A and B are shown apart, each in its own frame.
Chain A
């Protein structure tokens, strides 16, 4: 097995390759074996296909919006259609792509394997949450398209209670999607709590699991509030209950409070799992123990909890009292502390590491750049005085795209490239992957850096037309979006090509020490016959590069069988027996 490897005093451990009967992709055949599968890996793959399609749709809409803005008077749409298109883009990206992308697609695949478990705690609930997502997605997109919803993805009252478009259908769709998200989060919390293998204490969990756990807490605590808010909005439209509708003595700002109580924590649903992915990638591809493990783990939980206290910063100009805005502003700044802890720890991990500039690492490094810019520009928006000026301008748009796209999407792509060999058992073209990372980084910055300038010069968001003085920056932004689109297309092609002509992936292509690299690539349908031995997830001492077979293997130190001498044939108490 390990012919060319010469390590004194150790035994090489490598699971090899799965047989066709073991491989989870091929162990049962037919469409139905996928549609009714309870296997978390297959559900993860189905989610992956689903979110990719949603992302393609949302991305094309974004390109259309940018294309429209090439000309100050708009090139493509009427103003009404423009409103509908940005609503569609926002709603699809938020509810159908970013929220389920990392937790549901990658999380479903990885959480049980990282735990050395056979499946999530509730496999049927897992499948039903996937179908809730599919059902909700179809319902949602149809509602949006059928009536041309133009409220923006936030459904703010009083416009959403007076517009003729089908707010009811769209909110019910979002309600269903919310339940899908709740059930996924519930499943992960229970799985991580009760199904850790012997030896895996909380502080021996991979950081991706910590991040997933923190995300799940938010999903479980925040999403129900969105659920009831949307239900009350439906009731407001059908029965005029007078809670949000000023016509019946209701209070529209109450709606904003209710909505952002979910939707601000939802921002952390989007970014926290990305932090988890980056922690994994940075450590594995720097071949160095993660720096400040406990700080990264605790900061995930801290972000999850602090995230519940800052929703008011979306409403600084909505007419809250001065005192309230000051408190929310102060709380907003506290969130930057755990976020900064993470960034510093990642940098410290890379310091003096042996960095391999693989595709996932390229994405991870561009994540650190982009997320830092996104995070620091958030400070301008959290400051009351500057927010007065920047509220509802392109500055806000650029800020949250730096966090959501530059953060979450880039991390998602990095994670996808990192675990792709594990998921499908194929290596992709490394240079193609790096090229896509470069294009995405370049295109993204070209799209959104000009928008910071636009915003600070007073270009309001959600406008279909603009003053000619903004034309240069808008044109730059549109060209950037085009490059970004091409970069994403390259990434997709590289990954798909690998399925056709990629080299077979070994069990551990990157030299990771977490449990998922201990099973074959792709994993067998049962993951592990018995729970594997658990060590430090970031201790790479026993991982060695096998030059001949081009793979990393785990080298166990030679163990002596104790006791060495033969036991005596006669038991010591034999004479007492009779």
Chain B
């Protein structure tokens, strides 16, 4: 990011030709544009290596604790909403495509296209953050937090007195959106063409966060209805999921109930919850297990039931155990989100420079370097998604 701070060409229309001895974009201590480009590119790659090692610490922690407590990881990953994760994966992959395309456009000096593509990349980043905000706020409301603050209670999944986290996350983004909008209007009124050209895409970008929020909400509620209906097919006491008081009066505590169907009470209640898209599978597994226990069937490997879930003991929800999963979840996704924010910062800088038409076929390094960074951020998510959401 700060590796590509070569001198900027201030006047792109001027005819300091490409065959000139020392063009404006070439820093004084480099001999040729190629040398400058190679240095920047190597610098970026080395920086990416440090980034990989930075994340490697957390991947190690993940591996160690997954090895120590597999049942916690299998159980707790059920709380992550696979649909939202998949949507975010798609969004990031698409943004990588537009970023790579933007590099091409910088090389071919197609400035309009370049600006559009960078803006699209930025919008995707914002959508990603919006969906993430939905995921985070939902878990916070349920008290699914790192070990020290873990307060999830299966009987009362939704804390009544929890603050509206989503609102607080949205607030800064709303302010940014309003700020850019007001700035855009004032620049149109003043007739400042350059500012208008920058702020038009930026306003759309700022708004994209709320597209992400909307997308997340719709998907989540759609999911909710679905799992609600499937769950109610399989068991009788689920519809009360949103009425936690009723659940409490039923008085099934998972530890005390020993046999029969009641043992799954917690699971079924959780399955109602929108974020637990994986619980359906587990219920299926438990049904299969109880069938085995009664001796009516012999073990059948051909079923699609995941055998590991049968072995998972059901006490993984105690704070000190489940907390570790959410600690690692928040550390990894949180630091990844910080990298997304940093990426948004440099991409905005690129957008402004692309409107200013700084880049040309000899000087497109910054777009290329930011592109590399963006692909790495994308790649890390490609690893996070299966590790946290999918492996069960």
The verdict on A118 contacting chain B, using a C-beta distance below 8 Å, is yes
Query: How many residues belonging to B are interface residues under a CB distance threshold of 8 Å?
Result: 42
Q: Check A241/B147 contact, CB under 8 A, given A190-B39, A190-B46.
A: yes
- Nearest-Cβ distance from residue B338 to partner chain A, whole angstroms: 10
Q: With a CB–CB cut-off of 8 A, which chain B residues contact A123?
A: 27, 29
Separation of A191 and B101 alpha carbons in the complex (Å): 30
Q: Scoring B residues 315 to 359 as 1 if CB is less than 8 Å from chain A, else 0, what string do you get?
A: 000001101100110110001000000000000000000000000
Given contacts A122-B3, A186-B46, A239-B327, contact A225 B57 (CB under 8 A): yes
**Looking across the interface, which residue of chain B has its beta carbon closest to that of A230?**
B57
Q: Quick check: A249 and B321 within 8 Å, CB to CB?
A: yes
The answer to whether residues A228 and B5 also contact, given A190-B39, A194-B42 and a CB cut-off of 8 A, is no
Whether A229 contacts B148 by the Cβ 8 Å rule is no
- Min Cβ gap A53→B in Å is 26
Question: Assuming A118-B28, A258-B60, is B3 touching A220 (CB within 8 A)?
Answer: no
Docked Cα-Cα span, A232 to B65, in Å, equals 14
Closest chain A CB from B236 CB (angstroms): 36
Give chain B nearest CB distance to A265 CB in angstroms: 11
State whether the Cβ of A356 lies closer than 8 Å to any Cβ in chain B.
no
Known contacts A125-B5, A189-B42, A240-B149; A248 and B323 CB within 8 A of each other: yes
A472 CB within 8 Å of chain B: no
The docked-state distance in angstroms from the alpha carbon of A544 to that of B133 is 72
CB distance from B322 to the nearest CB of A (A): 10
Q: Closest CB-CB distance, A255 to chain B, in whole Å?
A: 10
In Å, the complex CA distance between A224 and B57 comes to 9
Interface bits A237-275 vs B (CB < 8 Å: 1, else 0): 001111100001111001000100000000000000000
Contact A124 B60 (CB under 8 A): no
Interface majority SS (helix, strand, loop, mixed), chain A: helix
User: Taking A228-B57, A258-B57 as contacts, is the C-beta distance between A240 and B39 under 8 angstroms?
Assistant: no
Chain A residue contacts of B323, Cβ below 8 A: 240-242, 248-249
| Chain B residues whose CB sits within 8 angstroms of the CB of A119 once the complex forms | 28-29
**Residues 138-162 of chain A, each 1 if its beta carbon lies under 8 Å from chain B, else 0:** 0000000000000000000000000
B5 x A124 contact (CB < 8 A) = yes
Complex contact A221–B49 (CB within 8 A): yes
A251 to B63, CA, bound (A): 13
Q: A186-B46, A224-B54, A232-B57 are in contact. Are A241 and B146 (CB under 8 A)?
A: yes
Interface flags for B86-125 (1: CB within 8 Å of A; 0: not) read 0000000000000000000000000000000000000000
Cβ of B194 under 8 Å from chain A: no
List residues of chain A with CB within 8 A of the CB of B328: 241, 243
Interchain CA distance A231-B54 in the complex, whole Å: 10
Q: Determine the interface band of chain A, counting residues with CB < 8 A from chain B.
A: 35 or more
CB distance from A123 to the nearest CB of B (A): 7
Encoded as 1 (CB less than 8 Å from any B CB) or 0, chain A from 115 to 144 comes to: 001111111110010000000000000000
- Give min CB distance, A104 to chain B, whole Å: 17
B residues 8-60 in Cβ contact with A at 8 Å: 27-29, 35, 38-39, 42-43, 46-47, 49-51, 53-58, 60
Residue ID in chain B nearest A249 by CB atoms? B320
Alpha-carbon gap, A195 to B42, bound state (A):
12
Judge whether A186 and B43 touch: CB under 8 Å: yes
Task: Please give, as numbers and ranges, the residues of chain B lying within 8 Å of A228 by CB-CB distance.
Answer: 54-58
Give bound CA distance, A186 to B48, whole Å: 11
For residue A124, which residue of chain B has the nearest CB? Answer: B5
Q: Is A223 an interface residue (CB 8 A)?
A: yes
Central interface residue in B2, B147, B321, by most chain A CB within 10 Å: B147
Does residue B297 face the partner (Cβ distance < 8 Å to A)?
no
Q: Is the CB of B42 within 8 A of A193?
A: yes
Q: Which chain A residues lie closer than 8 Å to B69 at the CB level?
A: 249
Residue from A122, A195, A222 within 8 A of B35 (CB atoms): A195
Q: Name the one of A118, A124, A222, A243 contacting B2, with C-beta atoms under 8 angstroms.
A: A124
With contacts A122-B3, A125-B3 taken as known, whether A241 is within 8 angstroms of B327 at the C-beta atoms is yes
- Give Cα distance in the complex from A254 to B54, angstroms: 16
Supply 4 further A-B pairs (C-beta < 8 A) apart from A195-B39, A227-B54, A239-B145.
A117-B29, A194-B42, A239-B330, A241-B330
20 cross-chain CB contacts under 8 A: A119-B29, A125-B5, A125-B43, A190-B43, A190-B46, A224-B56, A228-B55, A228-B57, A228-B58, A232-B58, A235-B331, A239-B145, A239-B148, A241-B148, A241-B328, A241-B331, A242-B320, A249-B323, A254-B61, A254-B64
| B interface residues, Cβ below 8 angstroms from A | 2-3, 5, 27-29, 35, 38-39, 42-43, 46-47, 49-51, 53-58, 60-61, 64-65, 68-69, 145-149, 320-321, 323-324, 327-328, 330-331, 335
Tell me the A residues contacting B by CB distance below 8 Å. Answer: 117-125, 128, 182, 186-187, 189-191, 193-195, 220-225, 227-229, 231-232, 235, 239-243, 248-251, 254, 258
